Every structure is written in C-alpha cells, then in structure tokens.
Amino acid sequence: MGERKTFPVPAVARTISGRRKEAARDWMAPDAGPREVQLRFVTELSFDEYRKQRGWEAATSSRCPLCEAGSCHFHRLGTYMRKVPAVAWVARYYCPESHTTFGLLPDFYASRMPGTLDMIEEAATKAESAPSVEMVADALRPADAPDAVTLGAAPRSSGSGCGCSSRARSSRRSRG
Ligand SMILES: [Zn+2]
C-alpha cells in the first residue's frame, strides 16, 4: 500500500550477480550462445529526454563487471533496440572471455520486460485498486488500441479445439 519503492519486479530483475549460479540460470539458457546481462545505467533523464539527447551514446562502462580489471577484452558493441513505449536504443558492451553481452539499461526502463518502470508502476497501482483483471486491462490497454487483443478475439485460440489435447490424442494414437 503506497510502498512504491518496494514493488518487487524491477528490484529483482535488476539484480545482477555474475558469480551466483542460481541467479545465472534466470538469464542463461542451457547451451545458449553468449550470455546477456543488464547493467544499470544510472541516469536522471526521463525516457523522453534520453531519446532526445540520444542518451545511449553517453552511456559508458569502464570495465567488465565479471573479470579482474584489465584481464579481458571488454569493449563497446553498438546498441540494441527497445520498442516500448517508443523506439530507443540501449548501449551494449561485450566481454569475449566470458562470452557475455552487457546492456546499459537506463534507470527508467524495466529490466527483462518491455516498457518503463513508470508503466509497470501504473499497472500495479491500477491492479491494486481495480475490481477485476478485465477492468485493469481495459484501463491500461483499451480495446480500440491498434495492438489490442480483446476478449472477442481471444476465443479463437482458447476455445473448443485446444492444440495441446489434439496433439496429445494423436501421439496416443501413434503409440497404440
Ligand atoms: Zn570480462
């Protein structure tokens, strides 16, 4: 209730621990290629200011968070795109020794999910006060939004013919 700073998702998602294997499993797929880690880019800029000032160009990291200083070839590796709430870029670094890519994620972004922390906070606040999930969804993403998935559209995928059960049936048939 009103404890805005303790909202758990961004806090947990932003925890970076290269040494803890338990944490590492969250962002490492087995046998995947390079690992990806989000680092915090401390900034006072708002999302709009960051876009206008091309904040990703000013976002720098002096050393690899995983290796001893100077012991690896940590270097800048361009940027990657975030699409929500509007297209912007995030500075990226790479450590070839640890096969790890680092994104310098500005403070206003949510880590590991689209959008900004403000958007998530708004959603959480609405969810707390709304009588139903449907009403929250309507408030956050009205059905007339261009990318909205409405209840009217949903039954096509969740209706009578569920792909899971028909696959299960056919596999039973093929075994018997
Ligand atoms: Zn390194």
Percent of the chain with pLDDT over 70: 61
**Measuring CA to CA, which residue among 109, 70, 69 is closest to residue 89?**
109
Q: Cα(8) to centroid of ligand 1, in Å?
A: 29
Q: Cα(115) to centroid of ligand 1, in Å?
A: 29
Q: Cα(76) to centroid of ligand 1, in Å?
A: 12
Q: Cα(148) to centroid of ligand 1, in Å?
A: 42
Per-residue pLDDT at 93 exceeds 60:
yes
- Rounded CA separation 143/154 (Å): 12
Structure confidence at residue 151 as a pLDDT band (50, 70, 90) = low
Highest mean pLDDT among 4-8, 78-82, 114-118, 168-172: 78-82
Q: Cα(36) to centroid of ligand 1, in Å?
A: 13
Q: Which residues surround ligand 1, an ion (CB under 5 A)?
A: 64, 66-67, 72, 74, 95, 98
Task: Quote the pTM value.
Answer: 0.56
Residue 153 has what DSSP assignment?
T
Read out DSSP for 71-108?
SS--EEEEEEEE-SSS-EEEEEEEETTTTEEEEEEETT
Per-residue pLDDT at 80:
94
How many other β-carbons are positioned within 10 Å of the β-carbon of residue 55? 22
With tokens 């309507």, the residue in question is: 138
